[in-house]
Amino acid sequence: MGVFFLTRSSHFLESVRKMSRVSDRVETYFKLNRLFLSSIGLWPYQTPWESRMGLSVLFAFTSSLFFMQFLGMLEVRNNMDDVIECLSPLGVAILCGIKVVNAVTNSDKMKNLLTKIQKDWDVSVVSDQETTIVKRYAEEGVKLTKMYAYVMYTGMSFFILPPILSNLQLANSSENKTETRRRLPYIAADYIDTEKYFYLMTLHAYVATVFFVTIIIGVDSTFTVYQQHGCAKFAILRYRLTRIIEPGNLDVDLNPPEIDDFVYKRTKLCIYLHKEAIRYACEIESAYTTAQLFQVGACCLLMSITGLHAVTKLAKPEELVRYFAVILLLMLHLLSYSWPSHELMDQSLSVHRATYEIEWFRVSIRTRKLLLQMMARSLEVCEITAGKFCLMSMENYCSILSNSMSYFTLLSSMQE
Protein backbone atom coordinates (compact mmCIF):
# COMPACT_ATOMS: atom_id res chain seq x y z
CA MET A 1 0.00 0.00 0.00
CA GLY A 2 2.83 2.37 0.85
CA VAL A 3 4.61 1.57 -2.41
CA PHE A 4 1.39 2.27 -4.34
CA PHE A 5 0.94 5.61 -2.57
CA LEU A 6 4.53 6.62 -3.27
CA THR A 7 4.20 5.64 -6.93
CA ARG A 8 1.00 7.63 -7.37
CA SER A 9 2.54 10.62 -5.57
CA SER A 10 5.63 10.57 -7.78
CA HIS A 11 3.46 10.44 -10.92
CA PHE A 12 1.43 13.38 -9.65
CA LEU A 13 4.53 15.43 -8.84
CA GLU A 14 6.01 14.63 -12.24
CA SER A 15 2.86 15.82 -14.01
CA VAL A 16 2.87 19.04 -11.97
CA ARG A 17 6.55 19.55 -12.78
CA LYS A 18 5.90 19.15 -16.51
CA MET A 19 3.02 21.61 -16.40
CA SER A 20 5.15 24.18 -14.55
CA ARG A 21 7.73 24.48 -17.31
CA VAL A 22 8.21 23.93 -21.00
CA SER A 23 9.58 20.52 -22.00
CA ASP A 24 13.14 20.27 -23.29
CA ARG A 25 12.07 19.70 -26.90
CA VAL A 26 9.86 22.80 -26.91
CA GLU A 27 12.44 24.77 -24.92
CA THR A 28 14.88 24.36 -27.81
CA TYR A 29 12.65 26.43 -30.06
CA PHE A 30 11.54 28.95 -27.41
CA LYS A 31 14.99 29.68 -25.98
CA LEU A 32 15.27 33.17 -27.46
CA ASN A 33 11.66 34.08 -26.66
CA ARG A 34 12.16 32.94 -23.08
CA LEU A 35 15.34 35.02 -22.84
CA PHE A 36 13.68 38.21 -24.04
CA LEU A 37 10.49 37.80 -22.01
CA SER A 38 12.25 36.62 -18.83
CA SER A 39 14.47 39.72 -18.84
CA ILE A 40 11.38 41.92 -18.54
CA GLY A 41 9.28 39.66 -16.30
CA LEU A 42 6.78 38.49 -18.94
CA TRP A 43 7.69 34.82 -19.47
CA PRO A 44 4.55 32.81 -18.54
CA TYR A 45 6.50 30.11 -16.68
CA GLN A 46 8.43 32.50 -14.43
CA THR A 47 7.81 32.32 -10.71
CA PRO A 48 5.69 35.18 -9.30
CA TRP A 49 8.78 36.57 -7.53
CA GLU A 50 10.85 36.58 -10.73
CA SER A 51 8.02 38.16 -12.69
CA ARG A 52 7.46 40.92 -10.13
CA MET A 53 11.18 41.64 -9.95
CA GLY A 54 11.53 41.88 -13.75
CA LEU A 55 8.43 44.05 -14.10
CA SER A 56 9.57 46.32 -11.27
CA VAL A 57 12.93 47.00 -12.91
CA LEU A 58 11.21 47.46 -16.26
CA PHE A 59 8.68 49.88 -14.82
CA ALA A 60 11.31 51.87 -12.93
CA PHE A 61 13.36 52.61 -16.06
CA THR A 62 10.63 52.99 -18.67
CA SER A 63 8.10 54.98 -16.63
CA SER A 64 10.76 57.40 -15.37
CA LEU A 65 11.97 58.03 -18.93
CA PHE A 66 8.39 58.52 -20.10
CA PHE A 67 7.84 61.04 -17.27
CA MET A 68 11.02 62.96 -18.15
CA GLN A 69 10.09 63.06 -21.85
CA PHE A 70 6.57 64.21 -21.01
CA LEU A 71 7.92 67.03 -18.84
CA GLY A 72 10.19 68.03 -21.72
CA MET A 73 7.23 68.16 -24.09
CA LEU A 74 5.30 70.38 -21.69
CA GLU A 75 8.32 72.68 -21.54
CA VAL A 76 8.32 73.20 -25.34
CA ARG A 77 4.55 73.04 -25.88
CA ASN A 78 4.57 76.36 -27.72
CA ASN A 79 7.04 75.08 -30.31
CA MET A 80 5.24 72.69 -32.65
CA ASP A 81 8.46 71.24 -34.14
CA ASP A 82 9.77 70.34 -30.69
CA VAL A 83 6.41 68.90 -29.67
CA ILE A 84 6.40 66.64 -32.73
CA GLU A 85 9.95 65.55 -31.87
CA CYS A 86 8.76 64.54 -28.39
CA LEU A 87 5.70 62.68 -29.65
CA SER A 88 7.60 59.90 -31.43
CA PRO A 89 9.45 58.48 -28.37
CA LEU A 90 6.38 59.05 -26.20
CA GLY A 91 4.25 57.15 -28.71
CA VAL A 92 6.70 54.24 -28.77
CA ALA A 93 6.62 54.17 -24.96
CA ILE A 94 2.81 54.03 -25.00
CA LEU A 95 2.97 51.26 -27.63
CA CYS A 96 5.26 49.23 -25.38
CA GLY A 97 2.99 49.90 -22.40
CA ILE A 98 0.08 48.41 -24.33
CA LYS A 99 2.13 45.28 -24.99
CA VAL A 100 3.13 44.87 -21.34
CA VAL A 101 -0.40 45.42 -20.02
CA ASN A 102 -1.77 42.89 -22.51
CA ALA A 103 0.90 40.33 -21.65
CA VAL A 104 0.23 40.69 -17.92
CA THR A 105 -3.57 40.63 -18.13
CA ASN A 106 -3.55 37.66 -20.54
CA SER A 107 -0.69 35.74 -18.93
CA ASP A 108 -2.94 32.72 -18.29
CA LYS A 109 -3.90 32.61 -21.98
CA MET A 110 -0.24 32.87 -23.02
CA LYS A 111 0.66 30.05 -20.66
CA ASN A 112 -2.22 27.95 -22.00
CA LEU A 113 -0.93 28.44 -25.56
CA LEU A 114 2.50 27.19 -24.50
CA THR A 115 0.89 24.22 -22.75
CA LYS A 116 -0.99 23.33 -25.92
CA ILE A 117 2.23 23.52 -27.93
CA GLN A 118 3.92 21.21 -25.45
CA LYS A 119 0.98 18.79 -25.63
CA ASP A 120 1.15 18.73 -29.41
CA TRP A 121 4.84 17.87 -29.31
CA ASP A 122 4.36 15.15 -26.69
CA VAL A 123 1.04 13.61 -27.76
CA SER A 124 -0.49 14.82 -31.02
CA VAL A 125 2.49 14.22 -33.32
CA VAL A 126 2.44 10.50 -34.15
CA SER A 127 4.74 10.02 -37.15
CA ASP A 128 8.16 11.09 -38.37
CA GLN A 129 6.62 13.12 -41.18
CA GLU A 130 4.44 15.04 -38.75
CA THR A 131 7.44 15.66 -36.52
CA THR A 132 9.26 17.05 -39.53
CA ILE A 133 6.36 19.40 -40.23
CA VAL A 134 6.25 20.71 -36.66
CA LYS A 135 10.02 21.12 -36.58
CA ARG A 136 10.02 23.01 -39.88
CA TYR A 137 7.56 25.61 -38.61
CA ALA A 138 9.28 25.80 -35.22
CA GLU A 139 12.67 26.38 -36.87
CA GLU A 140 11.11 29.05 -39.06
CA GLY A 141 9.85 30.72 -35.89
CA VAL A 142 13.39 30.70 -34.48
CA LYS A 143 14.77 32.23 -37.69
CA LEU A 144 12.11 34.95 -37.68
CA THR A 145 12.85 35.72 -34.04
CA LYS A 146 16.57 36.08 -34.74
CA MET A 147 15.96 38.28 -37.78
CA TYR A 148 13.45 40.44 -35.93
CA ALA A 149 15.78 40.92 -32.97
CA TYR A 150 18.72 41.74 -35.22
CA VAL A 151 16.80 44.33 -37.23
CA MET A 152 15.20 45.91 -34.15
CA TYR A 153 18.44 46.26 -32.22
CA THR A 154 20.19 47.55 -35.36
CA GLY A 155 17.46 50.13 -35.85
CA MET A 156 17.78 51.11 -32.19
CA SER A 157 21.52 51.69 -32.68
CA PHE A 158 20.76 54.05 -35.60
CA PHE A 159 18.46 55.99 -33.27
CA ILE A 160 20.81 56.32 -30.29
CA LEU A 161 24.18 56.68 -32.05
CA PRO A 162 23.78 60.20 -33.56
CA PRO A 163 23.55 61.94 -30.14
CA ILE A 164 26.59 59.97 -28.94
CA LEU A 165 28.62 60.90 -32.03
CA SER A 166 27.52 64.52 -31.71
CA ASN A 167 28.73 64.67 -28.12
CA LEU A 168 32.04 63.02 -29.03
CA GLN A 169 32.54 65.53 -31.81
CA LEU A 170 31.80 68.35 -29.38
CA ALA A 171 34.28 66.95 -26.86
CA ASN A 172 37.04 66.81 -29.47
CA SER A 173 36.32 70.22 -30.98
CA SER A 174 38.41 73.27 -30.14
CA GLU A 175 35.40 75.61 -29.88
CA ASN A 176 34.28 77.19 -26.65
CA LYS A 177 32.54 74.32 -24.94
CA THR A 178 30.86 76.51 -22.37
CA GLU A 179 28.65 78.02 -25.07
CA THR A 180 27.56 74.66 -26.50
CA ARG A 181 25.55 72.31 -24.33
CA ARG A 182 25.96 68.59 -24.64
CA ARG A 183 23.06 66.87 -26.28
CA LEU A 184 20.71 64.54 -24.43
CA PRO A 185 18.87 61.78 -26.33
CA TYR A 186 15.60 63.62 -25.64
CA ILE A 187 14.30 67.11 -24.87
CA ALA A 188 14.51 67.74 -21.14
CA ALA A 189 12.81 70.37 -19.00
CA ASP A 190 14.85 73.56 -18.53
CA TYR A 191 14.73 73.46 -14.74
CA ILE A 192 16.72 70.18 -14.73
CA ASP A 193 20.47 70.66 -14.55
CA THR A 194 21.29 68.55 -17.59
CA GLU A 195 24.99 69.43 -17.47
CA LYS A 196 25.34 68.17 -13.92
CA TYR A 197 23.38 64.97 -14.49
CA PHE A 198 24.26 64.51 -18.16
CA TYR A 199 25.93 61.10 -17.93
CA LEU A 200 23.34 59.73 -15.51
CA MET A 201 20.43 60.91 -17.65
CA THR A 202 22.05 59.65 -20.85
CA LEU A 203 22.74 56.20 -19.37
CA HIS A 204 19.21 56.05 -17.98
CA ALA A 205 17.72 56.95 -21.37
CA TYR A 206 19.73 54.33 -23.24
CA VAL A 207 18.98 51.55 -20.74
CA ALA A 208 15.27 52.40 -20.92
CA THR A 209 15.46 52.40 -24.73
CA VAL A 210 16.94 48.89 -24.66
CA PHE A 211 14.05 47.84 -22.42
CA PHE A 212 11.52 49.33 -24.83
CA VAL A 213 13.03 47.51 -27.81
CA THR A 214 13.26 44.25 -25.82
CA ILE A 215 9.52 44.51 -25.04
CA ILE A 216 8.74 44.84 -28.73
CA ILE A 217 11.03 41.96 -29.71
CA GLY A 218 9.90 39.62 -26.95
CA VAL A 219 6.15 40.11 -27.36
CA ASP A 220 6.07 40.27 -31.16
CA SER A 221 8.39 37.32 -31.77
CA THR A 222 6.43 35.14 -29.34
CA PHE A 223 3.23 36.03 -31.19
CA THR A 224 4.93 34.95 -34.42
CA VAL A 225 6.00 31.64 -32.89
CA TYR A 226 2.44 31.01 -31.68
CA GLN A 227 1.20 31.66 -35.20
CA GLN A 228 3.80 29.37 -36.74
CA HIS A 229 2.66 26.51 -34.53
CA GLY A 230 -0.92 27.18 -35.60
CA CYS A 231 0.22 26.85 -39.21
CA ALA A 232 1.92 23.57 -38.28
CA LYS A 233 -1.33 22.22 -36.83
CA PHE A 234 -3.20 22.92 -40.07
CA ALA A 235 -0.31 21.52 -42.13
CA ILE A 236 -0.40 18.25 -40.14
CA LEU A 237 -4.16 18.05 -40.63
CA ARG A 238 -3.72 18.56 -44.36
CA TYR A 239 -1.06 15.83 -44.40
CA ARG A 240 -3.42 13.38 -42.70
CA LEU A 241 -6.26 14.23 -45.06
CA THR A 242 -4.12 13.43 -48.09
CA ARG A 243 -3.43 9.97 -46.60
CA ILE A 244 -6.87 9.22 -45.23
CA ILE A 245 -7.46 6.55 -47.91
CA GLU A 246 -4.99 3.72 -48.36
CA PRO A 247 -3.51 3.78 -51.89
CA GLY A 248 -4.23 0.89 -54.24
CA ASN A 249 -7.39 -0.30 -52.51
CA LEU A 250 -10.18 -0.08 -55.12
CA ASP A 251 -12.74 -2.13 -53.20
CA VAL A 252 -15.53 0.17 -52.01
CA ASP A 253 -17.99 -0.88 -49.33
CA LEU A 254 -20.62 1.85 -48.90
CA ASN A 255 -21.99 0.49 -45.63
CA PRO A 256 -19.30 -1.47 -43.77
CA PRO A 257 -19.60 -2.15 -40.03
CA GLU A 258 -18.39 0.90 -38.14
CA ILE A 259 -15.79 -1.15 -36.29
CA ASP A 260 -14.19 -2.09 -39.64
CA ASP A 261 -14.53 1.34 -41.26
CA PHE A 262 -10.98 2.59 -40.71
CA VAL A 263 -11.37 5.54 -43.09
CA TYR A 264 -14.32 6.70 -40.99
CA LYS A 265 -12.23 6.50 -37.83
CA ARG A 266 -9.39 8.45 -39.44
CA THR A 267 -11.89 11.05 -40.65
CA LYS A 268 -13.28 11.45 -37.12
CA LEU A 269 -9.74 12.00 -35.86
CA CYS A 270 -9.15 14.62 -38.55
CA ILE A 271 -12.30 16.44 -37.51
CA TYR A 272 -11.08 16.44 -33.93
CA LEU A 273 -7.69 17.82 -35.02
CA HIS A 274 -9.45 20.47 -37.09
CA LYS A 275 -11.48 21.59 -34.08
CA GLU A 276 -8.32 21.72 -31.96
CA ALA A 277 -6.51 23.82 -34.59
CA ILE A 278 -9.46 26.23 -34.80
CA ARG A 279 -9.66 26.44 -31.02
CA TYR A 280 -5.93 27.18 -30.83
CA ALA A 281 -6.27 29.98 -33.41
CA CYS A 282 -9.23 31.42 -31.50
CA GLU A 283 -7.15 31.50 -28.32
CA ILE A 284 -4.45 33.49 -30.12
CA GLU A 285 -7.14 35.87 -31.32
CA SER A 286 -8.56 36.21 -27.81
CA ALA A 287 -5.16 36.92 -26.27
CA TYR A 288 -4.05 39.58 -28.75
CA THR A 289 -7.06 41.16 -30.47
CA THR A 290 -7.69 44.05 -28.04
CA ALA A 291 -4.04 45.05 -27.82
CA GLN A 292 -3.67 44.88 -31.60
CA LEU A 293 -6.47 47.40 -32.06
CA PHE A 294 -4.57 50.00 -30.04
CA GLN A 295 -1.24 49.01 -31.58
CA VAL A 296 -2.47 49.39 -35.14
CA GLY A 297 -3.89 52.83 -34.36
CA ALA A 298 -0.74 53.90 -32.51
CA CYS A 299 1.55 52.70 -35.32
CA CYS A 300 -0.52 54.48 -37.96
CA LEU A 301 -0.31 57.80 -36.11
CA LEU A 302 3.33 57.34 -35.12
CA MET A 303 4.44 56.72 -38.69
CA SER A 304 2.66 59.88 -39.80
CA ILE A 305 4.05 62.02 -36.97
CA THR A 306 7.57 60.64 -37.32
CA GLY A 307 7.50 61.15 -41.07
CA LEU A 308 6.39 64.73 -40.53
CA HIS A 309 9.28 65.30 -38.14
CA ALA A 310 11.74 63.65 -40.53
CA VAL A 311 10.78 66.13 -43.25
CA THR A 312 11.91 68.98 -41.01
CA LYS A 313 15.34 67.33 -40.67
CA LEU A 314 16.21 67.09 -44.37
CA ALA A 315 19.13 69.47 -43.86
CA LYS A 316 20.50 67.28 -41.05
CA PRO A 317 21.30 63.80 -42.43
CA GLU A 318 22.19 62.35 -39.01
CA GLU A 319 18.76 63.31 -37.66
CA LEU A 320 17.01 62.14 -40.80
CA VAL A 321 18.57 58.69 -40.38
CA ARG A 322 17.26 58.45 -36.79
CA TYR A 323 13.64 59.05 -37.65
CA PHE A 324 13.77 57.14 -40.90
CA ALA A 325 14.92 54.14 -38.84
CA VAL A 326 11.94 54.61 -36.50
CA ILE A 327 9.53 54.60 -39.45
CA LEU A 328 11.06 51.40 -40.85
CA LEU A 329 10.87 49.70 -37.44
CA LEU A 330 7.21 50.68 -37.07
CA MET A 331 6.51 49.21 -40.51
CA LEU A 332 8.33 46.03 -39.51
CA HIS A 333 6.37 45.91 -36.26
CA LEU A 334 3.07 45.92 -38.16
CA LEU A 335 4.44 43.35 -40.60
CA SER A 336 5.32 41.03 -37.70
CA TYR A 337 1.59 40.77 -36.94
CA SER A 338 0.15 40.95 -40.44
CA TRP A 339 2.28 38.40 -42.25
CA PRO A 340 1.99 35.49 -39.74
CA SER A 341 -1.75 36.14 -39.40
CA HIS A 342 -2.12 36.04 -43.19
CA GLU A 343 -0.17 32.78 -43.34
CA LEU A 344 -2.39 31.24 -40.66
CA MET A 345 -5.44 32.28 -42.67
CA ASP A 346 -4.03 30.64 -45.81
CA GLN A 347 -3.21 27.43 -43.94
CA SER A 348 -6.75 27.19 -42.55
CA LEU A 349 -8.16 27.61 -46.07
CA SER A 350 -5.86 24.87 -47.37
CA VAL A 351 -7.79 22.37 -45.22
CA HIS A 352 -10.86 22.95 -47.37
CA ARG A 353 -8.88 22.26 -50.54
CA ALA A 354 -7.37 19.09 -49.05
CA THR A 355 -10.83 17.85 -48.00
CA TYR A 356 -12.25 18.62 -51.43
CA GLU A 357 -9.50 16.60 -53.14
CA ILE A 358 -10.27 13.39 -51.18
CA GLU A 359 -11.60 10.60 -53.43
CA TRP A 360 -15.03 10.60 -51.79
CA PHE A 361 -16.33 7.86 -54.11
CA ARG A 362 -13.99 5.39 -52.38
CA VAL A 363 -15.38 5.93 -48.86
CA SER A 364 -18.47 4.83 -47.02
CA ILE A 365 -21.71 6.82 -46.79
CA ARG A 366 -21.11 7.76 -43.14
CA THR A 367 -17.62 9.00 -44.01
CA ARG A 368 -18.98 11.16 -46.83
CA LYS A 369 -21.31 12.89 -44.39
CA LEU A 370 -18.36 13.70 -42.12
CA LEU A 371 -16.36 15.03 -45.04
CA LEU A 372 -19.24 17.31 -46.06
CA GLN A 373 -19.37 18.71 -42.52
CA MET A 374 -15.64 19.27 -42.53
CA MET A 375 -15.75 20.99 -45.93
CA ALA A 376 -18.45 23.35 -44.69
CA ARG A 377 -16.58 24.15 -41.49
CA SER A 378 -13.26 24.69 -43.25
CA LEU A 379 -14.81 27.44 -45.38
CA GLU A 380 -14.78 29.65 -42.27
CA VAL A 381 -11.32 31.17 -42.24
CA CYS A 382 -9.35 31.42 -39.01
CA GLU A 383 -8.77 35.16 -38.72
CA ILE A 384 -6.62 37.22 -36.39
CA THR A 385 -8.12 40.68 -36.02
CA ALA A 386 -7.44 43.98 -34.30
CA GLY A 387 -10.33 44.37 -31.91
CA LYS A 388 -12.69 42.38 -34.17
CA PHE A 389 -12.51 45.43 -36.42
CA CYS A 390 -9.46 45.15 -38.68
CA LEU A 391 -8.33 41.86 -40.20
CA MET A 392 -4.57 41.36 -39.80
CA SER A 393 -3.54 40.46 -43.33
CA MET A 394 -1.09 41.64 -45.95
CA GLU A 395 -3.87 43.43 -47.82
CA ASN A 396 -4.82 45.46 -44.76
CA TYR A 397 -1.15 45.99 -43.96
CA CYS A 398 -0.79 47.85 -47.25
CA SER A 399 -3.99 49.76 -46.48
CA ILE A 400 -2.61 50.85 -43.10
CA LEU A 401 0.58 52.12 -44.73
CA SER A 402 -1.53 53.97 -47.28
CA ASN A 403 -3.62 55.57 -44.51
CA SER A 404 -0.46 56.59 -42.67
CA MET A 405 0.76 58.33 -45.80
CA SER A 406 -2.58 60.11 -46.08
CA TYR A 407 -2.35 61.32 -42.49
CA PHE A 408 1.22 62.43 -43.13
CA THR A 409 0.11 64.47 -46.12
CA LEU A 410 -2.71 66.03 -44.09
CA LEU A 411 -0.41 66.95 -41.21
CA SER A 412 2.16 68.40 -43.61
CA SER A 413 -0.47 70.64 -45.21
CA MET A 414 -1.70 71.78 -41.79
CA GLN A 415 1.84 72.61 -40.68
CA GLU A 416 2.39 74.75 -43.76
For 230-250, what is each residue's pLDDT tens digit?
Answer: 999 999 999 998 888 877 666
In the chain, what are the helix, strand and coil shares in percent, each to the nearest 5? 80, 0, 20
145-182 confidence digits (pLDDT tens)? 999 999 999 988 888 877 777 767 666 665 544 445 66
Given a cut of 50, whether residue 20 has pLDDT beyond it is no
Contacts of 390 (CB under 8 A, 6+ apart): 292, 293, 296, 396, 400
Name the β-bridge partners of 390.
Answer: 386
- Is residue 193 classed as helix, strand or coil in its secondary structure? coil
Mean pLDDT in residue range 34-56: 92
Element (H, E) at 252: none
Give Rg (Cα) of the chain.
Answer: 27
> What is the number of other CB atoms lying within 10 angstroms of the CB of residue 300?
18
Q: What is the pTM (predicted TM-score) of this model?
A: 0.87
Give the integer Cα–Cα distance in Å for 40 and 208: 11
Domain boundaries, the chain: 23-244+252-415
Give the residue, 8 or 67, on which the prediction is more confident. 67
Predicted local confidence at residue 409, as pLDDT? 77
Residue 182 is given by DSSP the state P
Residue 160 · residue 154 · CB < 8 Å = no
Q: Which of 43, 54, 24, 18 is nearest to 221 (CA)?
A: 43
Give the integer Cα–Cα distance in Å for 409 and 416: 11
Burial (CB < 10 A; 0-12, 13-18, 19+), residue 306, is: buried
Q: Which of 202, 184, 169 is nearest to 72 (CA)?
A: 184
206 vs 32, 61, 201, 340, CA distance in Å?
A: 22, 10, 9, 31
Mean pLDDT in residue range 83-112: 90
Give the integer Cα–Cα distance in Å for 355 and 376: 10
Give the residue, 8 or 44, on which the prediction is more confident. 44
Mean pLDDT in residue range 135-144: 93
Mean pLDDT in residue range 336-349: 92
Give the integer Cα–Cα distance in Å for 224 and 384: 12
Mean pLDDT in residue range 196-203: 84
